[in-house]
Structure 1
Amino acid sequence: MDGDVLYSSVNFHQKKQRKGKLQNKKETEDPSEDVTYADIKIANTFRIQNTDVDSKEDSGESPKEVKESNPGSTAGTSGLSKKTSAAPVPCPNVNTKACWLILLLLIILLVAALVGFVISSRSCSVCPQSSLLFDSKCYFFFTDKMNWSKSQDNCTSIRGHLAIIESKKEQEFLISNLGNKTDEEKSYWIGLSDQVTEGHFLWVDNRPQDSKGRFWGLREYDHGQEPDNWTDPVHNPAGEDCVHLNKSEHYSGWYDNNCEIQMKRICEAACN
């Protein structure tokens, strides 16, 4: 019935364009042959499918059986849905949450490695001609003599500070560069003192001395361990609160001394 209405609509449309010819043609030709548009053919096909279903129902076969009678279309559709739903899994044998945590950890490690590479690539490799390079820091061995406080001020004027020794390698590097073989006096102020509280040594950046990084020397005359805070009512009433690095014939290391003693100094500065 729906198909007849569609044909009638088309006939009316063609009638409007070629009224005379269509009237004569309609009298001689079969109405079913007047189908010329794709939508009418689709409607006609749909009617045939409905008719086919009706015939199946008349024969006692259910619509479900009709669907099953066309295995090609359903099989293709189900196969397509399986393919589209199967997304690739980055960790097929690991729980989904654990998988994403692993991926996140890998990303963090990668970023950390990149940051480390950038920092290391930006570290300097050249110091001023009058200084020595060690571990991205420049060390100045000044041979003119000052007391401990003025020595620190002088280091500050060159954008540095008295040397802060943080490792055995740094200690050995400085000891190996304390003057030449003919220089008998190999004592240089470093940035350590206990002027605030006796026995509590602080670096010039106010950090306490690391218990694992202590390189106190032995005395030549009695082989005793430094520091000793030696005091004398006449010659040294203030005691010994400032530290210098010393290299002697038998021993080397840190030694406390009177802060007013005139001594050489080691300044440390970041290289540019």
Structure 2
Amino acid sequence: MPEGDAVWRTARRLHQGLAGDRLEGSDVRVPAHATADLSGRRTIEVVPRGKHLLHRLEGDLTVHSHLRMEGSWRVHPVGRRHALGARHTVRALLWTSARVAVGDSLGMLDLVRTSEEHRVVGHLGPDLLDPGYDVQVALANVLADPERTITEACLDQRNVAGMGTIFTAEPLFVLGLHPWAPVGEVGADRVEEMLSTARRMLVLSCRTGRTTITGRADVTADDAWVHGRVGLPCKRCGTPVRLAPIGRQPQERVMFYCPTCQGGLAPTDDGARQTPLGHARRRYE
């Protein structure tokens, strides 16, 4: 699922392509809004909210979407509208006289009154990429359940919005924190440091225009400490990076970590040899 930085870049792309222009037409391909006509409305702005996108139009109307695993929004010259719209996975087309925005494979798409956006994003905690991010509220949310693992607490978008497995695994490694450690054992100071580190990494990724941990322009394929590096040597100690499930269904995830740098094997890790992702004998997808 795209994380906060990818959603931020998507919102920026849509805003730059459509803001200030009137829509000449729309094609919303979800049953609840199939008859909606957005033509004549001017795009005011497109903004991210955690992993959600809010495309605000004149007349107190917002196109709300969530990319989930496979979704995307792209902006193309309007002349390509018919060809692009022929894809069976397209869920929305919004076009001006010059450009067309194509929402493909969207996990969520609906229309809400802008004044009632709280109905779709009001449950979210403080957004790490919001200029008005409130660290004290986010911290209090994460600390509210001291028995919960630090990973689960940070991935819960009701606590703090924008973090996914990448921007949870990487700060945990950088700070030497065990992903399965209960929040109460981690402590308030370290939790705050974790959130601040995640925020810096997300902001860096937004500035560079790609998901990055180091920010180095010469690093692309392996620009991570642990995420995606199962079976490969830790860049600090050489121990093979591991992957293990965390959380309970339906919120179960998998987390990358170094058992040497981060306090030992996970309680859900049997210690068996794991091969790098992409190899035929990989243990996890």
TM over 0.5: no
- Normalised to the residue count of structure 1, the TM-score between the two structures is 0.18
Say which structure, 1 or 2, has more relative contact order (CA 8 Å, 6+ apart): 1
Hey, which of these two has a bigger chunk of helix by percent? 1
- Normalised to the residue count of structure 2, the TM-score between the two structures is 0.18
Rg larger in 1 or in 2?
A: 1
